[in-house]
């Protein structure tokens, strides 16, 4: 039984339609898949139909864009935190409002990045929009696709490694919901908040003293339900540290691919997975919408 709880479609920044994502998941031997497009639930109906047709299970989810203030007073800064929300009520108005705000700020931010990039490249906002399905949540991948169209890069990964990286000279962070507010709203909407790829990208030789225990424990006190420990971007040292923190607080631990399509990102459906026991805990905790198993 392969349970993969994190995937993206063209409703946000994946390269394949919702139906295609489920078809690829079936080919990869995935039995239960969560669709977790950034800041939107617009793919859920299509996902339910595709899963039904293919004899698969579907877990409705969202990857909510949030940020956290970290550091000591005077030296505080924001870090981006992706919060997976499983089984929330999509009609909860405050949560829906936050998602709408996030989509709007993402667009303002993407436009501002395009303005910066247009000084050095032939990129235009129109070309970026051509890379997106109407109504899709925008992110840097749409800018990468535009750069690929222009022949500036060969693919998304090349763009993320250079022009679109945080240090590429054109990066602007997305100003979005505070992570504590997001956790509270997801809970209010009957959903289960799980941090996506926690400490993702941290160096593998991380010193245990570097790990922000205080920050994570505040999130847990605020209602955080679990960690996506098994994700290709979470280094081994961080995994061990997160697993012991999860054990200490009896949290949910998940594993997922974070698939963005065959040509979107190297991540492959089913490359990491979640145990049935952990999925059952998510289902038990949730009261927003039902999983279709």
Q: What are the residues binding Fe ion (CB under 5 A)?
A: 63, 82, 196, 258
Site string for Zn ion, 64-93 (x = CB under 5 A): ------------------------------
Q: Which of residues 3-42 bind Zn ion (CB under 5 A)?
A: 8, 13
H/E element holding 239? Answer: helix 236-249
In whole angstroms, the minimum distance from the beta carbon of 197 to Fe ion comes to 6
**CA-atom Rg of the chain in angstroms:** 18
**Strand (E) or helix (H) holding 66:** strand 57-70
Question: Which of helix, strand or coil describes residue 179?
Answer: helix
Q: Which of 176, 260, 270, 278 binds ligand AMP (CB under 6 A)?
A: 260
Looking at 11, 156, 231, 281, which residue binds ligand AMP (CB under 6 A)? 156
Q: How far is the CB of 209 from Fe ion (least distance, A)?
A: 26
Full DSSP string of 97-144: HHHHHHHHHHHHHHHHHHHHHTTTS---HHHHHHTS-TTPPP-HHHHH
- CB-nearer residue toward Fe ion: 196 or 251: 196
Closest to Fe ion by CB, 110 or 152: 110
Q: How far is the CB of 63 from Zn ion (least distance, A)?
A: 7
Site string for ligand AMP, 213-242 (x = CB under 6 A): ------------------------------
- Name the segment binding ligand AMP (CB under 6 A); options: 16-24, 139-147, 177-185, 285-293: 139-147
Q: What is the DSSP secondary-structure string of 249-289?
A: HT-EEEE---B--TTT-S--TTSS---HHHHHHHHHH--SS
Two structure tokens written together for 41: 């639930």
**Closest distance of CB 168 from ligand AMP, Å:** 12
Give the 3-state secondary structure percentages of the chain, helix then strand then coil, rounded to 5: 40, 15, 45
CB of 36 to Zn ion, least distance (A): 9
C-beta of residue 176 within 8 angstroms of C-beta of residue 101: yes
DSSP β-bridge partners for residue 35: 60
Instruction: Choose among ligand AMP, Zn ion, Fe ion, none what residue 231 binds, the Cβ cut-off being 5 to 8 Å by kind.
Output: none
User: CB–CB of 4/30 below 8 Å?
Assistant: yes
Considering only CA atoms, which of 2, 7, 47, 1 is closest in space to residue 259? 7
Q: Which does 140 bind (CB under 5 to 8 A by kind): ligand AMP, Zn ion, Fe ion, none?
A: ligand AMP
According to DSSP, residue 168 is labeled: S
196 binds, among Fe ion, Zn ion, ligand AMP, none (CB under 5 to 8 A by kind): Fe ion
Q: Which residues make up the interface to Zn ion (CB under 5 A)? A: 8, 13
Q: Which residues make up the interface to ligand AMP (CB under 6 A)? A: 13, 139-141, 156-157, 160, 260, 264-265
């Amino acid at each position: 039984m392969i349970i993969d709880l994190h995937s993206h479609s063209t409703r946000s920044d994946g390269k394949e339609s919702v139906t295609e994502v489920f078809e690829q998941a079936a080919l990869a031997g995935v039995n239960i898949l969560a669709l977790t497009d950034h800041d939107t639930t617009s793919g859920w109906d299509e996902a339910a139909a595709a899963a039904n047709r293919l004899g698969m299970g579907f877990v409705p989810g969202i990857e909510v864009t949030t940020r956290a203030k970290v550091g000591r007073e005077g030296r505080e800064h924001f870090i981006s935190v992706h919060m997976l929300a499983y089984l929330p009520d999509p009609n909860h108005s405050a949560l829906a409002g936050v998602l709408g705000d996030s989509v709007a700020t993402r667009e303002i931010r993407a436009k501002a990045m395009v303005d910066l990039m247009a000084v050095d490249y032939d990129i235009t906002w129109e070309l970026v929009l051509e890379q997106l399905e109407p109504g899709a949540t925008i992110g840097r991948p749409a800018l990468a696709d535009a750069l690929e169209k222009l022949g500036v890069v060969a693919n998304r990964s090349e763009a993320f490694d250079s022009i679109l990286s945080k240090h590429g000279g054109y990066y602007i962070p997305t100003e979005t919901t505070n992570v504590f507010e997001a956790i509270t709203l997801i809970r209010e909407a009957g959903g289960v908040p799980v941090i996506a790829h926690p400490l993702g990208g941290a160096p593998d030789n991380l010193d245990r003293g570097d790990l922000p225990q205080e920050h994570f424990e505040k999130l847990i006190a605020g209602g955080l339900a679990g960690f996506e420990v098994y994700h290709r971007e979470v280094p081994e040292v961080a995994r061990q540290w997160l697993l012991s923190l999860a054990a200490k607080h009896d949290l949910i631990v998940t594993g997922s691919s974070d698939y963005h399509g065959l040509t979107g990102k190297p991540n492959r459906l089913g490359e990491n997975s979640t145990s049935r026991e952990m999925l059952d805990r998510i289902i038990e905790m949730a009261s927003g919408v039902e999983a279709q198993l």
